[in-house]
Structure 1
Amino acid sequence: MTTTLPPLPPDVAGLLRAVDAPPRLVAHLALVHQVAEEIADFCAREGLVFDGGAVRYGAATHDIGKTVHPEELSAPGSRHEAAGHALLLSHGVPEHLARFARSHASWGEPGVTVEELLVSLADKAWKNKRVQDLEDHVVDRLAAAGGRERWEAFLALDGLLTRIGEDAPRRLAVQAAHPVRTG
């Protein structure tokens, strides 16, 4: 098995080096970013209008707060969310991009944007975790955007997520091959 990671945007890769992000975190962000690209491309083809660059950036940085709370790389926790948002802002990242670090687990909140939904979906889909409530929000947006019946949008998204999920064991193994700590 190869442990080569998909590329991250150069500015994100530089930021991750600057904050000394652990290898496992870099692997996770690269893998979620790759899945976000698949989801974004699919949603754009389905007629959904959104900021694809923001989705890709958000997926590539959503867990950056785990550099501040590295214990959350191997255990549950949410302290990394606010910490990541603050970290990104302190490095000059604009709010419209930094917000994903804070919002990637908040898809059920009022006023959630389609971009936030797609980053949240990528963060689940990369490991084949299906979250019905989250997927329902995306299906609703897809159906409205494409003027389709809800069931048609559901079937299309379900097909995409099933295909993405089939590669989850490989992605999980690639992430696990990278150490939690630097050095």
Structure 2
Amino acid sequence: MSGALRRALADPGPRPLPDEAARLLTAVNAPPRLAAHLRAVHDVAADLVAWVRERHPAAAVDAEAVLFGAAVHDIGKALHPAELSGPGARHEPAGHALLREHGVPERLARFARTHASWDGPGIGLDDLLVGLADKVWKAKRVPDLEQRVVDVLAAASGQEPWQVFMDLDDVCDRLAAGADERLAFQAAYPVESTA
């Protein structure tokens, strides 16, 4: 493991990744910037999971799955590093295949495919939360995605959709306020992997 990758996984900043996610990133010699990005998204996902559990306890959320999914959702960028600094979706199926090759069960590997396609079939709250964390970490707001989260939470809790929307808007604003710090953390690490 390169020193830069070791630092991206361990330096003070966002919460550390789950051990298995850090092991996988080390095994694929992930670019340090990817590890930093995954820590930032994982950190936001942890806050979203805590918020759902507190405000919408009737909603079925698999915290372990969401946190692992957020920690590895972009692992395919280790194979397609140009997508770390530019557009592209080749990392999505590549990441899913990579996770499966490393023995990650489908219930966890799926996030590599679903984090950017929240309107597909079979997308549940866990997938939506990973997708939301992947946007809000950098203060990006996606109304269609947020509406899907509102619809699922309102149905689970019986609350009025407008109330759920207001609550979600508040938590997203709060999380977005830390975007500059998270972006600076990510930018502090190189895009290139080194041996």
TM-score (norm 1): 0.96
Instruction: Give, in whole Å, the separation in 2 of the partners of 1:142 and 1:42.
Output: 12
Structure 1 residue 11 displacement after superposition: 1.1
TM-score (norm 2): 0.90
**Matches of 2:139 and 2:79, distance apart in 1:** 27
Q: Does 1:41 align with 2:50?
A: yes
Give SS of 2:30's match: coil
* Aligned pairs, number: 181
Single out whichever of 105-114 and 89-98 deviates more from structure 2.
Answer: 105-114
Identity percentage over the alignment?
56
Let me know the Cα RMSD of the aligned residues.
0.9
Write the letter of the residue equivalent to 2:16: P
Alignment of 1:33-72 (within 5 A): 33-45=42-54, 46-47=56-57, 48-72=59-83
1:93 aligns to what SS in structure 2?
coil
Q: Deviation digits for residues 142-171 of structure 1, max 9, x if unmatched?
A: 111221111100011000000000010110
List aligned pairs for 1:22-171, cutoff 5 A. Answer: 22-45=31-54, 46-47=56-57, 48-171=59-182
* Separation of aligned partners in 2, 1:96 and 1:89: 10
Deviation at 1:4, TM superposition (A): 2.6
Structure 1: segments with no counterpart, 5+ residues: none
Greater than 3 Å deviation, 4+ residue runs: none
Alpha-carbon distance in 2 for matches of 1:134, 1:122: 11
Quote the Cα distance in structure 2 between the aligned partners of 1:4 and 1:182. Answer: 20
